[in-house]
Structure 1
């Protein structure tokens, strides 16, 4: 067993973890561990862009309104305001770092529009390769300044006297390392990988949620799982995500007969919020329809969307025919470890960023392209909080740590867990189905991993823990809201909440702008 120490231990290597490391690297000794390669993350595969107000015609209040409307009015107002106000500065920072954002001929940023946005405010890089372009720049900036350990999974966090003081890990060779750290940051993503059809990298299996739960951190909103409407799905197999930006450029959802799927369903049509579009497609599929994304009117599709073009080619889809077969798939986890505006969880010295956290900015349903925005905005804030720690607060390493060996149990295979989640906690849920899922999960003794567990066993334990938490949370929420749809309970969205909140801005100038923006939406 190896023992290491570091100022900051980051678990996960997506944009949230890398951005936090970038902000800390000149001030702290930083170590990143990731259970796969740094290129195996949802961030790296992200086709969508970053939503931010970068034009004079746009205003943060409009972005705020779009965000809370998509979130079914379940958002944390203060943190959501921070998100949309600080986003533009992060775009400018990344421009200074030479992130190759797409630009018009006059040099201005090329802005796209996606579901739930009433304006074009999405910044892209490399067309549909925004995530990989940002990750590559961040990795180049940090790689010579911090330690990055790939193919190493966190077994559990180390809690001493109520504080998080590190974690133990296991690598692909079976070697155990104990890391003691003054600050530990969870950044290994969400839990959409617990479903059969999903858009996530194979490495994403709810690890941060399970780690936070076992550490005693408060979790919230785990029932809110966003299903992306358009996964390329053909011959019973999912091949990858077809970005919402395709619909922003003119793509439309149709049946095999060419009938519009979203006509008359929502005022924003094909660009309605994701939960609404996903449920509509799901209902069509349940009735025996095949659903397609018609891209015949998208200009220069192959140039604009090179990554999606490659996915189509891999799936044997002939783009000249103008139609891509699609179906909804699990995409994003709105819940996680509850954090404040500085990334702090309820466990001292334990932080969470990105999809591992529950900042509350996404409410019950994330607005398109707000995920990378959340990652960069709150990564910077988390780093600022850690840098503000006094020296004596940043040196609480334990003299000793007690390790308890667990009795080995039988754990189901990954595919078994995915089947349960898909069948009972998918797009449409019922009390009976969720109760059945809870009973299935509780057939297994879900204990913390020990040193004898293989990496894949640690992963399955985390999936069991997180799956049980999701289905239990879904069973407890007796309403339909956003990404949580109970067929036995009606929707509980309420526009009055937003009207009241939007007018609460303290600054008179901001209040006037917010009222002006709200008037155009709620008139």
Structure 2
């Protein structure tokens, strides 16, 4: 058992942005499941959307965000995102984040590129297509090289969060499983969930293996409200060669002129949206799915007269392994699970429905993305709302009691399931979700998913080890997605029901808490 002032679960952009501020007044423990570099932040290729051109640019960014969210964006949250974004990005620049710039002869200014559903070029990127990794590295460097009070932040790798500890209706800490299988109980004045998304709930995903929805599942088990879990964004263009991982083919490729063509070599987006390849992600993903029923769909950059290896070095290196090259070959693509718009319900200050518990980044749901996230708003979300959550925690968190808490440990049923059986169980869940609760849904399929999840719950892996903990969390997330998707009898943004293809007149948010589903404007 140990005591800290603040516990931060997750070491991506939201968690580190918060920890830097929390460290000004107390001891902060930041825990992450693998090494510090392994987070959804580090996998973000395209860039960070930010309106650096003054009030008019900020207003346009707000309207683009609202439009992409398909009638469900929380305007207050979106206004906070776009208005505070420039100041937070300026901080990153001060801390040494090396965004790409034009050559000195061309002014040396920051490069700004275009992506889908944006009305102007406002995407900053780093090292071509490694923006997230550059931001993560610069934040870690700021923590380690004297950017915060010495000794105020402890970074703990290879540590799995098991459950939150609730005492008297307040979250007062968490139980953790270290890399050697030892259980730790951490008491804190406040806990911030910044644990990222849940892409591993689907068999086809661009997310890393760590994205198993741990923060959402822990919060829900503790009694917190979650919101909009039916809105899972499927990125339109993941690499689709047989046997290959669903490597992300960044939205920025289309921003630089890539076209989408079907098996017959025909450009097809004109049949689906006036913005063509730069339409909102949900529209493009469904178009590719429909065109893909008759054969493969490709990204075509053979007409683009740019140095694509220099602009997209990471993607180019990946493609070399499959003897493909941007600008020379057609690149096979198809949608894959990418980003969860829903999550632990919070206000714009990061407060959840449980005192002492805060959330920021992909794990949280402020409503800022509505039913469909605007491209490259995710890194900005973590940066802005991570900082806001920290400021709120500093104001509201009480002093820790002198005595250490006695924490119950939710180890699950007695016994230990083998590693192989656990992996088989997880694989079955992911395939079930992809088949019945993926990009195109209907009541029959969602009910089949629910029956399958009920059967999996009865065979839950046993034991207190990382993959068993992740299995338990994936099941909670899957059940929340399916229940919310069944309840929303309309199509909106990333949630498409074949049996309810039209919008409701008024957009409402789903809220799940203690097994009860409600919809509220």
Q: TM-score, normalised by structure 2?
A: 0.90
The answer for the alignment partner of 1:59 in structure 2 is 57
1:406-425 map, 5 Å: 406-408=412-414, 413-425=425-437
Task: State the distance in 1 between where 2:55 and 2:356 align.
Answer: 41
Does the residue aligned with 2:245 lie in a helix, a strand or coil? strand
Matches for 1:219-298 after TM superposition, within 5 Å? 219-286=226-293, 288-298=294-304
Match of 2:66 in 1: 68
> Which is further off, 474-483 or 311-320?
311-320
Q: Secondary structure of the equivalent of 2:5?
A: strand
Residue 326 (structure 1) aligned to one of 310, 333, 342 = 333
SS of the counterpart of 2:486?
A: helix
Deviation at 1:465, TM superposition (A): 1.1
> In the aligned structure 1, how far is the partner of 2:397 from the partner of 2:335?
48
Alignment of 1:44-123 (within 5 A): 44-56=42-54, 58-104=56-102, 105-123=106-124
3-state DSSP of counterpart to 1:330? strand
2:7 aligns to what?
A: 9
Is the CA contact (8 Å cut-off) linking 2:7 and 2:30 kept in structure 1? yes
**Secondary structure of the residue that 2:78 maps to in structure 1?**
helix
Q: Which residue, out of 441, 466, 473, partners 2:477?
A: 466
What SS is found at the alignment partner of 1:413?
helix
CA spacing shift, 1:351–1:391, aligned 2, 3 Å: closer
For 1:195-235, what per-residue CA distance to the aligned partner results, in whole angstroms no more than 9, with x for missing partners?
11111011101111101100100001000000000001102
Distance in 1 of aligned mates of 2:63 and 2:289: 27
Looking at structure 1, the residues matched to 370 and 309 of structure 2 have their Cα atoms a distance apart, in angstroms, of 34
Q: Is the contact made by 2:181 and 2:465 (CA closer than 8 Å) also made in structure 1?
A: yes
For 1:250 and 1:231, the matched residues in 2 are separated by 17
Structure 2 equivalent of residue 135 of structure 1: 136
Partner secondary structure for residue 9 of structure 1: strand
**Deviation, structure 1 residue 131:** 0.4
Structure 1 residues 238-272: Cα deviation after superposition (integer angstroms, max 9, x where no partner): 34101101100111111233210212321111000
How far apart are 1:56 and its partner, in Å? 4.5
Aligned position for 2:406: 400
CA RMSD of aligned residues (A): 2.1
2:316 corresponds, among 306, 309, 313, to 309
Secondary structure of 2:497 counterpart:
coil
Does the Cα contact within 8 Å between 1:181 and 1:397 map onto a contact in 2?
no
Q: Distance in 2 between matches of 1:292 and 1:125?
A: 26
**Is this contact kept in 1: 2:31–2:159, CA < 8 A?**
yes
8 Å CA contact 2:425, 2:456 repeated in 1? no
TM-score, normalised to structure 1, is 0.90
> Matches of 2:239 and 2:33 in 1, distance apart?
27
Say which is worse superposed, 198-207 or 22-31, in terms of deviation: 22-31
Of residues 440, 444, 451, the one that matches 1:432 is: 444
| Distance change (3 Å), C-alpha of 1:106 and 1:47 | same
Distance in 2 between residues matched to 1:208 and 1:195, nearest whole Å: 17
**2:298–2:332 CA contact under 8 A, matched in 1:** yes
CA distance in 2, matches of 1:187, 1:391: 21
What is the correspondence of 1:209-220 to structure 2 with a 5 Å cutoff? 209-220=216-227
Gaps of 5+ in 2: 146-150, 508-521
Mapped to 2, the partners of 1:430 and 1:465 lie a distance apart of 21
Distance (whole Å) between structure 2 residues aligned to residue 131 and residue 320 of structure 1: 24
Helix, strand or coil for the counterpart of 1:227? strand
More moved, 191-200 vs 427-436: 191-200
How far is 1:440 from its partner?
1.3
SS class of match (1:315): coil
Measure the CA separation in 1 of the matches of 2:98 and 2:75.
Answer: 32
Equivalences for residues 459-498 of structure 1 within 5 A:
459-492=470-503
Query: Structure 1, residues 364-419: CA drift from partner, whole Å, max 9, x if none?
Result: 00000000011001111111111223654x55865433446542387662211110
Q: Which moved more, 1:411-420 or 1:56-65?
A: 56-65
Contact 1:239 1:311 in 2 (8 A): no
Q: Distance in 2 between matches of 1:224 and 1:408?
A: 35
Q: What's the offset of the Cα at 1:346? A: 0.5
Unaligned runs of 5+ in 1: 498-523
Counterparts of 1:213 and 1:390 in 2: how far apart (Å)? 21
Deviation, 1:48, is 1.4
Aligned pair in 2 of structure 1 residues 396, 366: CA closer, same or farther (>3 Å)?
farther
1:519 maps to which residue? none
Kept in 1, the 8 Å contact 2:48–2:377? The answer is yes
How far apart are the structure 1 equivalents of 2:504 and 2:252?
A: 26
What do the CA deviations read for 1:153-176 (whole angstroms, capped 9, x no partner)?
Answer: 011111111111111111221111
**Partner in structure 1 of residue 455 of structure 2:** 443
Structure 1 residues 65 and 396: alpha-carbon distance in aligned structure 2, compared to 1, 3 A threshold: farther
